[in-house]
Amino acid sequence: MGADVGSPSKTRKCWPKRWHAVPVGLVTDQPLKQTPLCAEHERLGARIVPYAGWKMPVQYAGIVAEHNCVRQQAGLFDVSHMGRLEITGPRALDAVNRLITNDLLRVPNGRAVYACCCRADGGILDDIIAYRHSPEHVLVVCNASNLDKILGHFESELGEGAHLVNLSPTTGLLALQGPRALDIINKVSQKPLTDLPKFSFASAKITDTDALVARTGYTGEDGFEIFIPAGDLAACWRSLLDAGKSYGISPIGLGARDTLRLEACLSLYGHEIDESIHPLEAGIGFAVKLDKSDFLGRTALLERKAQTSTRKLAGLMMTGRGVARDGYAVIDAQGHNLGRVTSGAPSPTLGRNIAMAYLPPALTAIGTTVQVDCRGKAVSAEVVPMPFYKRSQGN
């Protein structure tokens, strides 16, 4: 059953120390920003940590309990730290489409696409979701740590006929995820959202608040991401938690968000992807449409596709006793370096230690055995299919 959202457990598992401070490269002298829900997180007993320049909840009742709650019932996330950019004007659609790897021209109004924004050399500036309202109106959601970079990139590259507004300060974003997410949102929405397809979005009233609801998420479960005016965010947060009580809902922190996305093999910027990595080697080639009209990075990616790749993202299941963490070396039996771990953790769903790592393509065949240097100890691992977890069609 889900944890009581009003009284989190007093016994909490410790999370890796990397959550105790702002991640490397994100340290700043600026004061930490707060989402409109900071007081709500504190009221619910969340452990607050600095993340990407924000004060964010890393856990409430405990990471494993929160992870299992999302897999089995439903969880509610505050993801208002993510960037939200609105592009309008007669060239909005074409201008955005030139800056992303996927093709917004192939989807109808009311649909969204996952894509990368690339440099001219194919390196990934960020991975984003672009929402097509109309040819004159596009919404882009980017990572919190990359907001300033993507904002500057769009400002310099959109050109005439496309007007950019940063909606991040005036809006909030919630993620309702899990097999009971649909039941819960239908209790608070003034119109049923049952027939909203995956990667589609629609305007809706959540309680009495005008919202934009998208059937998207970052957990491997069914669910919704809800865009709400900042002033109404706390009321919507409370109404969703109240509506979900009978379904076992819990508030969820960044810790479980990380283990959920890892089980689903969803990339995290700064780990699986960054400016030194291109999408084709990162396992997200499905989000690259090389046959569409020209986009920034297309020429470089066409050249890279024709070349022999030197690395490929693979899934590892630890067969020895040890946890593969970000940055650990993957080695052979003689201790020679083969690659590096990008993300790794114990999997609450599988009860095994899992990781993603970049390896030479010849070593990414399913069943290949390697070792991971876990703080000086060589721990055996096996290449396994990705994702580690995939929800059943019935959920």
Domain termination site, one of 307, 327, 351: 307
Q: What is the pLDDT of residues 225-247, one digit of tens each?
A: 999 999 999 999 999 999 999 99
Question: Does position 332 have pLDDT exceeding 70, yes or no?
Answer: yes
Query: Does 273 lie in the same domain as 328?
Result: no
Query: Domain ends where: 307, 329, 345?
Result: 307
The percent of residues above 90 in pLDDT, for the chain, comes to 90
Within a domain: residue 301? yes
Asked if residue 100 is part of any domain, the answer here is yes
In the predicted structure, residue 146 carries a pLDDT above the cut 90? yes
In a domain, 389, yes or no: no
Helix, strand, or coil (residue 299): helix
Residue 287, phi then psi, degrees to nearest 5: -95, 10
Q: Which domain holds residue 254?
A: 1-307
Domain assignment of residue 395, yes or no:
no
The answer to whether the CB of 372 falls within 8 A of the CB of 381 is yes
pLDDT category at 29 given cuts 50, 70, 90 is low
Does 271 map to a domain? yes
Do 225 and 269 lie in one domain? The reply is yes
339 occurs within a structural domain: yes
Residue 161 region, left (φ>0) first, then alpha (ψ -120 to 50), else beta?
left
Per-residue pLDDT for 23 more than 90? Answer: no
Residues 203 and 350 in one domain: no
Asked if residue 319 and residue 300 are part of one domain, the reply reads: no
Residues 368, 223: one domain? no
Q: Where are the beta strands (DSSP E) in 169-248?
A: 171-177, 201-206, 209-214, 223-229
CATH of the domain at 203: 3.30.1360.120
Contacts 24+ apart (CB under 8 A), 107-115: 107/132, 108/132, 109/133, 109/134, 110/200, 110/201, 110/202, 111/199, 111/200, 111/201, 112/199, 112/200, 112/201, 112/214, 112/216, 113/199, 113/287, 114/199, 114/284, 114/287, 115/287
The whole-number pLDDT of residue 329 equals 98
Q: Total structural domains in the chain?
A: 2
Considering the domain architecture, whether residues 137 and 30 belong to the same structural domain is answered as: yes
Residues 283 and 346 in one domain: no
- Residue 305 φ/ψ, nearest 5 degrees: -65, -35
Q: Are residues 237 and 253 in the same domain?
A: yes
pLDDT at 24: 33
Helices and strands (H, E) in the chain, number of each type = 8, 20
Does 265 share its domain with 350? no
| pTM, to two decimals | 0.92
- Asked if 73 and 226 touch (Cβ cutoff 8 Å), the reply is no
> Do 295 and 314 fall within a single domain?
no
User: Among 280, 307, 334, which residue terminates a domain?
Assistant: 307
- Taken as a whole, the chain contains a residue count of 395
Chain mean pLDDT for the chain = 92
> What was the pLDDT predicted at 393?
63
CA distance 384 to 362: 14
Q: Do 294 and 322 reside in the same domain of the chain?
A: no
Asked whether residue 68 falls in the same domain as residue 34, the answer is yes
